[in-house]
């Protein structure tokens, strides 16, 4: 819990600094890359969490991986190292992304499909969700073959389930009740 609060504080401070320097969008892109890279690399995550690996080694590795990162992002890494909070890097990046989306009025729409979304379908979903919410929307796509077909759309606390699996379950419930 304390780690989550600290991550929010670091994220707010970085967003404030980045906004002051008009680099909030560039830093947001860095934070997305950091989040994705750490989530996809178990070795990198383990290295960040390992207290035996020295701070200088961690810093060298991170600056090598994120060599094109913004100066503010590099300063965040330095600050986390100095304060012995580097294991929070992924959480800080996630919180930054959420705060940036909130600041810019961007909403996240989670779309779950049985097969990957085509570009044409992605455009249609974006238009529909923007029409419903009146906000800019970013789509995060997930593939789940267990839904068989159709899609599940989540925007904020609203969920629309148009999956084949859901329709089959409804039919099954109707037959068992009668």
Out of 51, 67, 102, pick the residue that ends a domain: 102
Domain enclosing residue 165, as ranges = 105-177
Is the predicted pLDDT of residue 158 greater than 90, yes or no? no
Is 76 found in the same domain as 115? no
Is 93 found in the same domain as 20? yes
pLDDT at residue 4 in the model: 84
pLDDT at residue 105 in the model: 81
What is the bridge-based pairing of β-strands 150-155 and 158-163? antiparallel
pLDDT digit string, tens, across residues 92-144: 999 999 899 888 888 888 888 888 888 888 888 788 777 777 777 888 888 88
Is 84 found in the same domain as 7? yes
Count of domains for the chain? 2
Out of 79, 102, 125, pick the residue that ends a domain: 102
Name the nearest CA neighbour of 154 among 138, 170, 169.
Answer: 138
**Rounded to 5°, angle at Cα 70 from 66 and 76:** 80
The pLDDT mean for the chain works out to 88
With H, G, I as helix, E, B as strand and everything else as coil, classify residue 63: helix
Average pLDDT rounded to a whole number, residues 9-20? 95
Cα 117 to its chain centre, rounded Å, is 18
Is 86 found in the same domain as 28? yes
| Model pTM score | 0.71
């Amino acid at each position: 819990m304390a780690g989550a609060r600290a991550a929010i504080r670091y994220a707010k401070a970085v967003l404030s600094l980045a906004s002051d320097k008009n680099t909030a969008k560039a830093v947001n892109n860095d934070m997305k890359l950091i989040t994705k890279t750490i989530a996809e690399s178990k070795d990198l995550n383990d290295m960040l969490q390992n207290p035996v690996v020295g701070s200088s080694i961690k810093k060298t590795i991170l600056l090598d991986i994120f060599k094109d990162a913004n100066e503010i992002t590099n300063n965040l890494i330095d600050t986390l190292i100095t304060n012995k909070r580097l294991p929070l890097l992924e959480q800080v990046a996630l919180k930054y992304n959420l705060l940036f989306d909130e600041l810019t009025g961007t909403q996240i729409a989670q779309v779950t499909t049985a097969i990957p979304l085509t570009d044409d379908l992605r455009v249609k979903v974006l238009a529909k969700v923007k029409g419903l919410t009146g906000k800019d929307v970013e789509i995060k796509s997930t593939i789940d073959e267990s839904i068989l077909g159709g899609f599940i759309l989540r925007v904020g606390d609203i969920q629309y389930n148009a999956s084949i699996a859901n329709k089959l379950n409804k039919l099954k419930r109707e037959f068992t009740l009668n």
